[in-house]
Structure 1
Amino acid sequence: MRDYRMYILVNEDIKISKGKLAGQVGHAVMSYVYHKVVKPLSEGREIKSLDEYMKEQKKIILKCPQYKLEELEHAGGYTVIRDKGYTQLEPNTLTCINYGIKTPEQLPEWVSNLKLCN
């Protein structure tokens, strides 16, 4: 069994309450599942890593500088969460990116070096 984990990178450069952050991480998880799992499965594609991931469902939440999140957003292929601005944040604030389901060995060094969100 491979050690799959879902990695979510949160913007360390904004002030956000723990509750709001939890909501943003929830958006990142649900958006990832919908766009990367539900839609592909409905098109007949198999997602092997999801079966392995679901056995443990580990989620790693890491603090990341905004400029790195913007680079990932620009590169494409990641689940990007921007706030609607209804409560604490300005509209379109980049809050987090779901980096995906990966094993620790699949991570680039810069992601491995990010600090856990506490």
Structure 2
Amino acid sequence: MKQAIVVRTDLKMGKGKIAAQASHAAIGAYKIADKSSIRKWEQEGQKKVVLKVSSERELLELFYKAKNTSPVACTLITDAGHTQIEPSTRTCIGLGPASDDEIDALVGDLKLL
């Protein structure tokens, strides 16, 4: 069981901004995940991976793939624009928690952030 956070690198967000956006994604996906998946993930140590894509297009393709073809909980994070980036900028997605196989089927080809 694991959770995956996928962050856009083309936005050149600072480390703190990335941490905040990734936190939004982790919590957002957690809140909509299947309760049995959450319990199992919590019992197994709450494994997470943070991965990267280089564009909004890649982020949205992955988000819609997960939404339309997978049972994995997913959430798209859109920034309010109070600090480093413009309002309504899509920054990252959260996936899971779900089985390693389900997550890997979606993001297994991505590199770590």
TM range (shorter): 0.7 to 0.9
Alignment partner, residue 29 of structure 2: 32
In 2, the alpha carbon distance for the partners of 1:104 and 1:63 equals 18
Distance 1:72 1:105 in 2: 16
Indicate the SS of the match to 2:11.
Answer: coil
Secondary structure (helix, strand or coil) at the match of 1:87 reads: coil
Report the Cα distance in structure 1 between the residues aligned to 2:48 and 2:59, rounded to whole angstroms.
Answer: 18
Output the CA distance in 1 between the equivalents of 2:95 and 2:37: 14
Letter in 2 for 1:60: V
Q: How many equivalent residue pairs?
A: 104
Report the equivalent of 2:60. 70
1:112 to 1:73, Cα distance in 2 relative to 1, 3 A: closer
Structure 1 Cα separation of the partners of residues 97 and 24 of structure 2: 15
**Residue of structure 1 aligned with 2:2, choices 2, 5, 24:** 5
Q: Structure 1 CA distance, aligned partners of 2:59 and 2:93? A: 7
Cα distance in 2, alignment partners of residues 114 and 72 from structure 1 = 11
- Higher-Rg structure is 1
Say whether residues 1:79 and 2:69 are aligned partners: no
CA distance in 1 between counterparts of 2:59 and 2:84 reads 20
Relative to the length of structure 1, the TM-score reads: 0.77
Residues 72-101 of structure 1, C-alpha deviations (whole Å, 9 max, x = no match): 344573200011111100111111001222
Please name the residue that 1:42 is paired with.
none
Tell me how far apart the structure 2 counterparts of residues 11 and 68 of structure 1 sit (CA, whole Å). Answer: 9
> In the alignment, residue 21 of structure 1 is paired with which amino acid?
I
1:10-21 alignment runs, 5 A limit: 10-21=7-18
